[in-house]
Amino acid sequence: MSKRELIDTGTDKRYVRRNDDGTFKESDDVGKSLSADGRHHAKTKVKPGQGDRGDG
């Protein structure tokens, strides 16, 4: 499982995962919903960089 990295395009911010060859595998927009997730208590523990894998 690869870590997510934050990409700031200037107009928006996105969390992306990369394949082994460096191409984008998965992309999520950083919006109000992801910000709100950080303010809630999660029952599932995940490793750093894997925030989208826990409770949502």
Where is 34: in which H helix or E strand? helix 32-37
pLDDT, tens digit, for every residue of 2-56? 788 888 888 888 888 888 888 888 877 777 656 666 676 767 777 776 766 665 4
Is this structure's pTM higher than 0.85? no
What is the phi-psi region of residue 36: left when phi exceeds 0, alpha when psi lies from -120 to 50, beta otherwise? alpha
For the chain, the domains span 1-39
Our CA angle for 31, 49, 11, nearest 5°, is: 30
DSSP structure class, residue 53: G
Radius of gyration for the alpha carbons in the chain, expressed in angstroms and rounded = 12
